[in-house]
Amino acid sequence: MAVAVFHEGGYDFVEDTRKWEIKFKEDKQHNLLFHYVEKDILRITELLEGFISKRMDSILLRTEPIESLTESKELMEMFESLHPYYRNNANVFVAAFKDCLNNVLLRANTVKPLSKERYKRLFNGFMKLFGLTGYMECKPVDEYSDFEKECWEVSYDDYILRADRDYLVEAIDPFKKEIKNQKIIKRMLFWIFDVSAPILRELTIVKRVWLYDRFFQDDYEQFKGTKITKNLSSSTIYVQTAAYSDIDYLCNKLGNYLKDFHKNPEDIPTAALNDLYSLAQYAKMQTDSAIYDGYEIDDLHHLLFYEILTMVELNVAIKKCKNCGVYFTLNNLNAEYCNRIPQGEKKTCQVLGARRKYKEKLKDDYPQETYNRFYNKYSQRVRTGVMEKADFETWKNFAKEGLGKVRAGELDIKTFEGRLEIEPKKINICNE
């Protein structure tokens, strides 16, 4: 089991090991969510079909082991880059493959009811096809035991009798679901939060939700139903790992002594009191003791759905950044750029965007651009000592005056440009 602990607009995703380790976090910027909807995952179907075809061939021809298939590698990478939920989460893939298997078995069973024995064989064959012994990997076929070989051959024949490759490809719906769910999440963000959405942007978030609901209720019906728990203290979930075994040990040891502590505090032995004192010190160290909502998560889309609910509660406004094209949350409705640093850049979109805007403005402002060009040229001369600062200042005043005249329509641009060319020292002569 994994739990998402929601607080102040974000969440911590913790996994049910004894230590309750935090696997990843999302904050108020919702970057994981916004990047998720931008990832191109349409190739999932193609990759899966390739994977199944090649895998079936490799088992029949007894050649390639599963891990060498480029499709399985690419698939893995695609999911892992999609959202940290999929990172090192073998269970997600195993669960999806098991769903595939169920699809196959259900259909096979409707064609002709399976005997227990044949069901088992088909099941085993399918497990081999997807290499469910490990994380999408399987040993080379020639390493199977005789028993395994027999199982596979029989079940494969069974499968061939009942179905064909296309039929198996159809069974991979659980993965295709990812594409559908991504579309749904994208649609929700646009309908409910995007301040650039025509017509919708005039409504409050609650009204937008109402409207969205009229059209797309079925969309998110499947996201509902996660178990939600109100918990008294999140500190139980963030026990400091180093001290965990100490705490565990003390609690076990003390359990019996403390049952009646509330009745007769004086009656418990001194040693036990000392242990309790130590535990109280650990309690003091816990930083976060507020009530929190824990959401049991076994599907990424439940997690994203609950994230969206917190955004509704907090009236979040979003917009696509004009530089990187990814959604960002708005404090100021007029903001156009996010403050993320796009891949391969050193500056934030805000800085890059402001620069681009200035350049674009210059394109439409030839006189200003001309002035800047000469300004840079002569200021460079001042820096290298070729030109006197005083001469530069004289030139600058002269050029600024000219720029004003061009703007007022009193001087044409060609003459202006020609005059700027004049060497600074001659300016005074020209003016005379």
DSSP structure class, residue 196: T
In terms of CB distance, is 308 or 349 closer to Zn ion? 349
Cβ atoms 205, 193 nearer than 8 A: yes
Which tokens hold the place of 49?
């079909």
Q: Which residues pair with residue 297 across a beta bridge?
A: 2
81: Cβ contacts below 8 Å, ≥ 6 apart: 39
Considering the complex, what minimum distance in angstroms separates the CB of residue 32 from Zn ion? 15
In terms of CB distance, is 50 or 342 closer to Zn ion? 342
Considering the complex, what minimum distance in angstroms separates the CB of residue 30 from Zn ion? 13
- Residues at the contact surface with Zn ion, assessed by CB under 5 A: 321, 323-324, 338, 349
Angle at 303 between CA 11 and CA 34, to 5 degrees: 80
In terms of CB distance, is 239 or 326 closer to Zn ion? 326
In terms of CB distance, is 236 or 339 closer to Zn ion? 339
In terms of CB distance, is 108 or 324 closer to Zn ion? 324
DSSP structure class, residue 409: T
315: Cβ contacts below 8 Å, ≥ 6 apart: 205
Considering the complex, what minimum distance in angstroms separates the CB of residue 97 from Zn ion? 37
In terms of CB distance, is 55 or 320 closer to Zn ion? 320
In terms of CB distance, is 94 or 341 closer to Zn ion? 341
Cβ atoms 22, 299 nearer than 8 A: no
Element (H, E) at 4: strand 2-7
In terms of CB distance, is 138 or 349 closer to Zn ion? 349
DSSP-assigned states of every residue in 244-312: HHHHHHHHHHHHHHHTTTTT-GGGS-HHHHHHHHHHHHHHHH----S-EEEEEESSHHHHHHHHHHHHH
Please tell me whether residue 3 adopts helix, strand or coil conformation. strand
Considering the complex, what minimum distance in angstroms separates the CB of residue 331 from Zn ion? 15
Which tokens hold the place of 224?
């509902």
Considering the complex, what minimum distance in angstroms separates the CB of residue 345 from Zn ion? 10
In terms of CB distance, is 254 or 349 closer to Zn ion? 349
DSSP-assigned states of every residue in 296-356: EESSHHHHHHHHHHHHHHTT--EEE-TTT--EEE-SSTT--S-S---TT-SS-HHHHHHHH
Q: Which residues pair with residue 14 across a beta bridge?
A: 3, 22
Cβ atoms 181, 79 nearer than 8 A: no
Considering the complex, what minimum distance in angstroms separates the CB of residue 189 from Zn ion? 16
Reference 105, options 177, 167, 174, 178; nearest CA is 167
Considering the complex, what minimum distance in angstroms separates the CB of residue 329 from Zn ion? 12
Torsion, Cα of 159, 161, 166, 169 (10° steps):
-10
Considering the complex, what minimum distance in angstroms separates the CB of residue 348 from Zn ion? 8
In terms of CB distance, is 354 or 411 closer to Zn ion? 354
DSSP-assigned states of every residue in 5-68: EEETTEEEEEE-STT-EEEEEE-TT-HHHHHHHHS--THHHHHHHHHHHHHHHHHHHT---GGG
Considering the complex, what minimum distance in angstroms separates the CB of residue 25 from Zn ion? 21
- The torsion angles phi and psi of 303, rounded to 5 degrees, stand at -60, -50
Considering the complex, what minimum distance in angstroms separates the CB of residue 1 from Zn ion? 36
